[in-house]
Homo-oligomer: A and B are copies of this chain.
């Protein structure tokens, strides 16, 4: 009987769930993969934490790094997290010692994936990371296998459940960002420290991994990232009136031979598929040839969805067959040109809260005109009970650098009452 000896390093919510799953489903996995998964060792920072799983004494490792050297380990599962420190040490060491690695660590893969995959390749072991991008959405395996025939021109979608929960709840209940964030923490939809969920970094890591897989290129750090902290319920309300929803989207796209990676709040038409995704769900949309458009949607995070992804990687390795971590060998992966978005064109939504006095509107529109940005729609809303007006402008497609220049120029004006806002519009 074939078997695979596993070490699980990191026993938080996900590690504990996986431990229990593997124990409970040994037989079924044996039938499907013709290979028995055996949890040989585990390691965790805090050995005495309540976990509701039965760990035998001889399963505990003295030192987590031993998992990378012991002869009776075939596969190391890294569930520590973080791009540096112990997670990095563990994965580099495991691959160097010819152990297969499965990880849910997007930060690590986004940063060191190229180096790691070279070692894996050289040592003929697998490095799999389905769980690092949108747990319940089998997007990596779909790109590497199900959609392998396709030349992909664009991948985009909702890659972060916390920020999507916050935006859709702000919209549905007309609440402010801060109010919703407090509730989200209470309900477990946001972590105690949700910085990387809210500032776009979490999406950025996932997007780098996906665009590398889509375009057969090395990982690239040229990426524009803007989070959702400054989204005001006024903007959500305005978007609704204009026929849009605001979503935090990640995009990787090939336009005229150049690749752009960007993460930012986006106005997207109300009746589009992406606008309909509410709550903590994730959705990935792939435009490819010959397949056309494919969409995969599912739960993005949490121990259950992540375990589904981890087990798909464990199964793939169990069935044997060495695959390249990024679909192609490092020799075949390309160094493509990734472009700054400053020269990309966007239609945009801009909001200026101004002190209502003669000449303001003419001054603002003249700044647009000097920067050669043409206005598609302009709405002026006076606020009640004071002399403040909100000026909403929707532009035609314009260079990103012109748009940001307008924002900077207008922001300095004395008639500006509050920091102006720029939100890009998805016109596809």
Question: Which residues does A use to contact B, with CB under 8 Å?
Answer: 17, 21, 25, 31-32, 34, 130, 136-138, 141-142, 145-150, 273, 276, 288-299, 303-305, 307-312, 315-316, 319-321, 323, 327-329, 332
Contact = CB atoms under 8 A, between A and B. Distances in A.
Nearest to A276: B276
Contact of A291 (B147, B150, B304): B304
B148 A315 contact: yes
Contacts of A130: 146
Given A298-B295, A320-B321, A328-B32, A290 B21 contact: yes
Contacts of A319: 321, 323
B328 A305 contact: no
Contacts of A305: 290-292
A304 B151 CA distance: 12
B296 A296 contact: yes
Nearest to A138: B146
Given A273-B276, A289-B304, A319-B323, 11 more contacts: A32-B148, A130-B146, A136-B292, A138-B142, A146-B146, A149-B315, A290-B307, A291-B308, A294-B297, A294-B298, A320-B321
A294 B25 contact: no
Contact of A294 (B136, B292, B321, B328): B136
A308 B290 CA distance: 6
Contacts of A298: 291-295
A25 B312 CA distance: 28
A190 B53 CA distance: 55
Chain B CB within 10 A, most for which of A276, A304, A310, A320: A304
A25 B320 CA distance: 27
Contact of A141 (B136, B146, B310, B329): B146
A307 B289 CA distance: 10
Contact of A308 (B147, B273, B320): B147
A291 B281 CA distance: 12
Nearest to A290: B304
A327 B28 CA distance: 11
Contacts of A292: 136, 298-299, 304-305
5 contacts: A147-B308, A273-B276, A290-B305, A292-B304, A292-B305
Contacts of A295: 295-298
B311 A149 contact: yes
Given A146-B130, A273-B276, A17 B290 contact: yes
Nearest to A319: B321
A6 B180 CA distance: 58
Contacts of A308: 147, 149-150, 288, 290-291
A150 B309 CA distance: 10
Contact of A146 (B312, B320, B323): B312
Contacts of A309: 146
A47 to B, nearest CB: 25
A294 B293 contact: no
Contacts of A141: 141-142, 145-146
A130 B145 CA distance: 11
A299 B307 contact: no
A325 B21 CA distance: 25
Given A130-B146, A141-B141, A273-B276, A136 B312 contact: no
A312 B32 contact: no
Contact of A147 (B138, B145, B316, B321): B138
